[in-house]
Amino acid sequence: MKKQHAIHNEEACNFLLTSKKFNDWVVTTAFYSSLHYVQYELFPLTDNGQKYTDFNVYYGKVLQRKNKKLSKHSATIELVKTNLSACSSYYRWLHDACMSARYNNYNVSESKAKTANDYLVELKKYLKK
């Protein structure tokens, strides 16, 4: 993942937050920004002596080898939990809030949108790159 993609999504999130019209998209862009930030932080990744250049290579090789049937989102949650535990709770909350906002109910409160934006800011504090 490219860091620029994370920044682009974060800028969209900030813009949408000020509009107060599209709170579901605030939550969605906050999550996808966090996804790009954490994958940028995690990769390249060395696992059991094998180096993986990016998430898609890791997902295809490691999870097939381990015979796991995780979605890409679940695999990223596990990677964050294992390798970036300090920001894991923020990432998980953003994931869950996004899935709810996108697939269950697009009516998201201003408070939840603000929390999503705040959690993205907090998550970034634990990243080094």
Q: What is the CATH number of the domain that holds 84?
A: 1.20.120
Four-point Cα dihedral 78, 79, 81, 87, nearest 10: -130
Residue 120: which residues within 8 A CB-CB, separation 6 or more? Answer: 10, 13, 30, 33, 34, 90, 94
Domain limits for position 56: 3-124
Separation of alpha carbons 118 and 26, rounded Å: 11
54 is written with which tokens? 């990016």
* pLDDT tens readout for residues 53-72: 999 999 988 776 666 678 89
Asked whether residue 105 carries a pLDDT value surpassing 90, the answer given is no
What's the pLDDT at 103? 78
Separation of alpha carbons 72 and 70, rounded Å: 6
Asked whether residue 34 carries a pLDDT value surpassing 70, the answer given is yes
Residue 8 belongs to some domain of the structure: yes
Residue 129 belongs to some domain of the structure: no
Residue 26 belongs to some domain of the structure: yes
- How far lies 37's CA from each of 68, 110, 127, in Å? 24, 24, 8
Count the domains in the chain.
Answer: 1
Residue 106 belongs to some domain of the structure: yes
Say what the pTM is. Answer: 0.93
* pLDDT tens readout for residues 79-97: 999 999 999 999 999 999 9
Asked whether residue 73 carries a pLDDT value surpassing 90, the answer given is yes
Cα dihedral sign, 75-53-117-31: negative
